[in-house]
């Protein structure tokens, strides 16, 4: 028998070093990606296109009518281009869906081929309005983002940019947008791309907020923000504390 001090005794197996945890704020460089905005002639889409293009992103806005998209793009400046929705989707690496809720499903169904292989960012909020104000709707799939994922099986669907004021986004006197962007998705790499895209806008930060099954709560919160804005005559957004 050999003792533990015997030089002939076999060496204990080496314990592999534990890999350092990835810094959640170590995000990819997205500056070279082309961003398409479906519904880019609406208030929200136009505002997002303006902020991203002003930050140096190449942006194409889409509309059902190419002439309307080109006219809106010319008004935005900063190199924004306009095209019909199909061309916008084909030419873009990332496609933001900013269409009205009532046209959401029809628009995505018509662009399934063009959106195959693309990173899709859904920012649509299913809302209803009555005399008491705004209220959340719940789609059969669970949320607008989950509806997009169901309609676009060949795309990588994420959800983000729900809580941004279109008024602030389009206000050319503002250099920064003081807000966090909740980003949801199934794949970390896709979520981090969208976080990085949000971070291109001065004052804005992308924050991981869970998988797509949690998108309904994020979309629904817009109804609460509308109530806040009406009461306080504001353009409220969100900030997540302690991160």
Average pLDDT of the residues in 223-239: 96
**What pLDDT score does 11 carry?**
64
Residue 8 has pLDDT above 70, yes or no: no
Average pLDDT of the residues in 137-155: 98
Cβ-contact 89, 109 below 8 angstroms: no
Measure CA 21 to chain center.
Answer: 25
Average pLDDT of the residues in 166-180: 96
Taking the C-alpha atoms of residue 40 and residue 97, their distance in angstroms, rounded to an integer, is 9
pLDDT band at 21 (very low <50, low <70, confident <90, very high): confident
* CA within 13 Å, CB half, 156: 15
**What pLDDT score does 18 carry?**
74
In DSSP notation, 143-177 reads SHHHHHHHH-TTSEEEE---S--HHHHT-TT-S--
Query: Token match 């197996």: residue?
Result: 13
Strands 204-208 and 58-63: unpaired
Residue 155 has pLDDT above 90, yes or no: yes
**What pLDDT score does 22 carry?**
84
Taking the C-alpha atoms of residue 105 and residue 111, their distance in angstroms, rounded to an integer, is 10
Residue 13 has pLDDT above 70, yes or no: no
Measure CA 159 to chain center.
Answer: 5
Strands 127-130 and 133-136: antiparallel
Mean pLDDT (the chain, rounded)? 94
**What pLDDT score does 20 carry?**
75
Cβ-contact 61, 41 below 8 angstroms: yes
Residue 35 has pLDDT above 90, yes or no: yes
Residue 73 has pLDDT above 70, yes or no: yes
Residue 5 has pLDDT above 70, yes or no: no
**What pLDDT score does 214 carry?**
97
Neighbouring C-beta atoms of residue 223, cutoff 10 Å: 18
Average pLDDT of the residues in 77-91: 97
Using alpha carbons, select from 224, 41, 219, 7 the residue that is nearest to residue 60. Answer: 41
What tokens appear for 225 in the block?
Answer: 């923000």
**What pLDDT score does 121 carry?**
98
SS3 223: helix
Structure pTM?
0.90
Task: Give the rounded percent of residues in the chain with a pLDDT score beyond 70.
Answer: 93
What tokens appear for 152 in the block?
Answer: 């676009």
């Amino acid at each position: 028998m050999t003792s533990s001090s015997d030089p002939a005794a076999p060496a204990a197996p080496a314990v592999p070093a534990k890999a350092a945890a990835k810094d959640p704020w170590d995000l990819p460089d997205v500056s070279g990606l082309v961003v398409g905005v479906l519904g880019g002639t609406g208030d929200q889409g136009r505002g997002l296109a303006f902020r991203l293009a002003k930050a140096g992103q190449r942006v194409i806005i889409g509309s059902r009518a190419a002439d309307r998209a080109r006219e809106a793009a010319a008004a935005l400046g900063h190199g924004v281009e306009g095209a019909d929705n199909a061309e916008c989707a084909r030419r873009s690496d990332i496609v933001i869906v900013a269409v009205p809720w009532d046209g959401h499903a029809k628009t995505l169904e018509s662009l399934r081929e063009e959106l195959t292989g693309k990173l899709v960012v859904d920012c649509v909020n299913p809302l209803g309005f009555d005399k008491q104000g705004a209220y959340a709707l719940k789609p059969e799939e669970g949320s607008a983002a989950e509806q997009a994922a169901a309609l676009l099986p060949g795309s990588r669907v994420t959800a983000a940019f729900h809580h941004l004021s279109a008024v602030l986004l389009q206000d050319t006197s503002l250099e920064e947008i003081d807000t966090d962007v909740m980003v949801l998705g199934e794949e970390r790499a896709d979520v981090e791309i969208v976080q990085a895209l949000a971070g291109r806008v001065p004052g804005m930060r992308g924050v991981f907020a869970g998988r797509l099954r949690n998108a309904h709560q994020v979309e629904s919160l817009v109804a609460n923000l509308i109530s806040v804005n009406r009461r306080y005559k504001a353009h409220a957004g969100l900030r997540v504390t302690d991160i």
